[in-house]
Amino acid sequence: MHPIVNFLKTIFIWVPLLAATAVLPANCASAAELPVLQFVTLVDPVERPGLFQLFEKTNNEICRRLQYSCTLKYYPAARAAAMVESGEADGENYRVFNFAADGKNPRHIRVDTPLYVATFVAWGKPGTARVSSWDEVAMQGQPVMYLFGSKIVVNNLGARMSSNLTPTHSVESGLNMLVADRASYFITSDSRGVEQKISRLRLDSQITKMGIVESLDTYLYMNDKHRALAVKFKRTIEEMKKDGSLDTLMFEAGEIKAKPR
């Protein structure tokens, strides 16, 4: 065979092999190679899918801007806090301003700008006395249901009506307790999700909103190994508020009614 033909064959064989095994430059890292932050939340995606998806989308956008990737998983409230406290998780969504003030979670640090508002709503059957504060709920002296793990409800009502205060693990269970007259009020921190559940269960004529007892800003908390990163998260959240992207996410989730401009 002619030497030139052999030379060309060699080129056709080796050039593709070299291209396939070439090493990419270090600055060409893919999204899969970004550092991953693991977040947890006490919000159950089955019970409150809209709120969970809002947290997920917000976390993803914050992390995208800071060149991280992230995950979000649901755990019961006590377990979620323990995971962040131990460093097993990097942070958690939907805790109030003074969540760590009692000293029980010293490794929790607050990303010091509020993300959402938690509105605590009392539900009941038509004819039940309307209420507009924790004091008014306690003054009724009637049985109250709440979602298991809600420290806000326990802190506000536990000492005054412990014998009439009962936790439940699901919204549906709490609503059924109202229908069965086993409770006069069911208190939740998510109005829209409960309204959707009431509609799906066809309980619109039997259960209604009896009043808002409190509205609180909620924050993202992180394990204290992320102190520097928490400052960056704060700046990024404030940027998202200014550019309207946070409002857009909340509108899409149904958390605000006016469409952002």
From 17-31, 176-190, 244-258, the region with the lowest mean pLDDT: 17-31
Q: Indicate whether 31 pLDDT > 60.
A: no
How far apart, in Å, are the Cα atoms of 155 and each of 82, 134, 165, 238? 19, 10, 12, 30
Strand 185-188 vs strand 116-124: parallel, antiparallel, or unpaired?
antiparallel
Those residues whose C-beta lies under 8 Å from the C-beta of residue 36, and which sit 6 or more positions away, are 68, 69, 70, 71
Cβ–Cβ < 8 Å for 125, 106: no
Q: Indicate whether 7 pLDDT > 50.
A: no
- Domain chopping of the chain, boundaries: 38-116+217-252, 118-215
Name the one residue in this structure whose structure tokens are 């149904």. Answer: 254
Nearest Cα neighbor of 147 from 72, 77, 217, 75 is 77
| Top mean-pLDDT range of 30-34, 70-74, 93-97, 190-194 | 70-74
Which architecture does CATH list for 118-215?
Answer: 3-Layer(aba) Sandwich (3.40)
Q: Indicate whether 23 pLDDT > 70.
A: no
User: In this predicted model, what pLDDT tens digit does every residue of 96-136 receive, in sequence order?
Assistant: 988 888 898 999 999 999 999 889 999 999 999 999 999 99
Evaluate the CA torsion angle 255, 165, 103, 80 in order and state its sign: negative
Helices (H), 167-226: 171-179, 191-200
User: In this predicted model, what pLDDT tens digit does every residue of 55-96 receive, in sequence order?
Assistant: 999 999 999 999 999 999 999 888 999 999 999 999 999 999
Cβ–Cβ < 8 Å for 202, 119: no
Domains 38-116+217-252 and 118-215 share a fold: yes
| Tokens matching residue 250 | 């909340």
Superfamily of domain 38-116+217-252: Periplasmic binding protein-like II (3.40.190.10)
Cβ–Cβ < 8 Å for 261, 73: no
